[in-house]
Structure 1
Amino acid sequence: MASHFLSSQFFLLLTIILHCTTTTVAQSLAPAPGPPGPTNITKILEKAGQFTTLLRLFDITKVGDQINTQLNNSKQGMTVFAPTDNAFSSLSAGTLNSLSDQQKDELVQFHVIPTFISMSQFQTVSNPLRTQAGDSAPYKFPLDITTSGNQVNLTTGVVSTTVANAIYTDGSLAVYQVDKVLLPMSLFGPPAPATAPAPESGKDKKEGGDDGGQSPSGSANSSDAVDLRGELHGLMVGVIAFIAVFCL
């Protein structure tokens, strides 16, 4: 009986050892997880959903590829304001179709900032914020950001909106949902006021004085003509008097 008990215990111990060994070997043979792939803005927006129009513009303008390239070759990071499909639907009919390829590129670039900005960092940004569209001067591509508590407000000079939520952030890329398309002044704002004419130079004023001086000169010439006529009249009177005396 004791021998049978020992055999059973030995068999159980052997089974446990074999199981542990098999598990350890299996774990050692399993491939180690690879490093995460490069950041891809397109995949992020596809996973989030409701950004079909923005993705189409990314593809048309190649801005999506540009963002991915910059993200994986620069340490500055990037920030993207992503308008939803509803935001694009609220635009006037034909708005996007009326834009040239260059204008579409400028519109999309206006939604991209070439640095990473966290929600808390919005409180310290300097306005106007420079986007990848370029010139942030008035009537060009100015973007102003203000905060009120945890709310982030965006103003382009044409539209104002707020950041709805953070779709993605990893310390390198931040993607924020906005419920309005950010319309830049350069494309959708009123025309810039006409430039005031330049003041007259000293030379122009001098030339103007010379022109004005012609009038006195003309008056002098007119006076000379009157004197000449007076002299001729006197001469004629003298001649007539001489003839009258001679004939008598």
Structure 2
Amino acid sequence: MKQIFPAFPLVFFLFFFQCTPALSQSPTPAPAPPALVPAPPAMAPASGSTDVTAILGKVGHFTTFIRLLKATQLADQLNTQLYKSNQGLTVFAPTDDAFSNLKLGMLNSLTDQQKYQLVQFHVLPSFFSVSQLQTASNPLRTQAGGSDGQFPFNVTTSGNQVNITTDMVNATVADTVYTDKQLAVYEVDKVLLPHGLFVPPSPPPAPLKPKKRPASDSTQSNDTPHVQDDTSDGIHLSQHTLRATSSIVLVLAAFI
């Protein structure tokens, strides 16, 4: 019994030494799932700088033009066009003062289609810098006329000043609001008005009716009632009276 007890502490120490490392080790954590990367939106513009209404809103005096862009849904259309097309766009934005100078009630009298075309008339379907406007060939096709070029306008220059001439108004490019290699936005002092948008083309003249042929002389003689001439009858009566009197005088002279 005395020999067993001294060996017992040694065995217990060896057992504890072997078990301690296993107990101190913590379990390996499971790998975390990979993070999900959100897909980019299908029709998102390339950058916030190509938002036409946001650019105009920063300036502060294009409220009416911005309202027309949104009401006609052309704001989203232009932003999408900038995202898809490589040709770019040129926008001529009239100020609020320019709209206030229109004839009273003119803007409200337009139909939705006319308002849509009016805003499109202020947009060129390609990018034009100021130097390119000064050397552009007239007339310039606007988006209002489509590929047919139904509603164009002319650009003229006087020194460094750029003027826009339609068949109704003469406007001046007052300032450059924004420009890059894709979008150019210019401030104009008048609302650009195309004549054909407000005044419909006059209808062709009606064909002339054939003239009635004049009635013949014979027809007129048959249809026209005979009017007796009292003067001629009086003359004939006087002649007969004169002849009768002459005869009586001659007879009386023969008997005397």
How far, CA to CA, are the matches of 1:88 and 1:161 in structure 2?
13
Structure-2 change in CA distance of 1:195 and 1:123 (3 Å)? farther
5 Å-filtered alignment, 1:115-134, equals: 115-134=126-145
Among candidates 77, 80, 83, match of residue 88 of structure 2: 77
Q: What corresponds to 2:188 in structure 1?
A: 178
How far, CA to CA, are the matches of 2:160 and 2:146 in structure 1?
28
Among candidates 18, 30, 39, match of residue 50 of structure 2: 39
How far, CA to CA, are the matches of 2:59 and 2:181 in structure 1?
18
5 Å-filtered alignment, 1:1-248, equals: 36-37=47-48, 39-134=50-145, 140-189=150-199, 191-192=200-201, 195=204
**Amino acid paired to 1:121:** Q
8 Å contact from structure 2 (residues 145, 152) kept in 1: no
How far, CA to CA, are the matches of 1:186 and 1:65 in structure 2?
26
User: How far does residue 38 in structure 1 lie from its aligned partner after superposition?
Assistant: 5.5
Structure showing greater Rg: 2
- SS where residue 147 of structure 1 aligns? strand
Q: Which has the higher helix share?
A: 1
% identical equivalent positions: 60
- SS where residue 47 of structure 1 aligns? helix
How far, CA to CA, are the matches of 2:50 and 2:84 in structure 1?
11
State the TM-score, normalizing by the size of structure 1: 0.61
- SS where residue 168 of structure 2 aligns? coil
Structure-2 change in CA distance of 1:135 and 1:36 (3 Å)? closer
How far, CA to CA, are the matches of 2:163 and 2:146 in structure 1?
21
8 Å contact from structure 1 (residues 79, 113) kept in 2: yes
Give 5+ residue unaligned stretches, structure 2. Answer: 1-45, 208-256
Give 5+ residue unaligned stretches, structure 1. Answer: 1-34, 199-248
Structure-2 change in CA distance of 1:72 and 1:135 (3 Å)? closer
User: How far does residue 123 in structure 1 lie from its aligned partner after superposition?
Assistant: 2.1
How far, CA to CA, are the matches of 1:37 and 1:180 in structure 2?
28
Structure-2 change in CA distance of 1:122 and 1:38 (3 Å)? closer
8 Å contact from structure 2 (residues 94, 189) kept in 1: yes
How far, CA to CA, are the matches of 1:144 and 1:175 in structure 2?
17
Structure-2 change in CA distance of 1:127 and 1:136 (3 Å)? farther
8 Å contact from structure 2 (residues 95, 188) kept in 1: yes
How far, CA to CA, are the matches of 2:147 and 2:104 in structure 1?
27
**Amino acid paired to 2:181:** G
Structure-2 change in CA distance of 1:120 and 1:197 (3 Å)? farther
**Following superposition, which runs of at least 4 residues in structure 1 exceed 3 angstroms of deviation?**
35-38, 135-138, 191-198
**Amino acid paired to 1:159:** V
Once the two structures are superposed, residues 193-231 of structure 1 have per-residue CA deviations (whole angstroms, 9 ceiling, x without a partner) of: 555799xxxxxxxxxxxxxxxxxxxxxxxxxxxxxxxxx
Once the two structures are superposed, residues 61-102 of structure 1 have per-residue CA deviations (whole angstroms, 9 ceiling, x without a partner) of: 011111100011111000000000000011111111100000
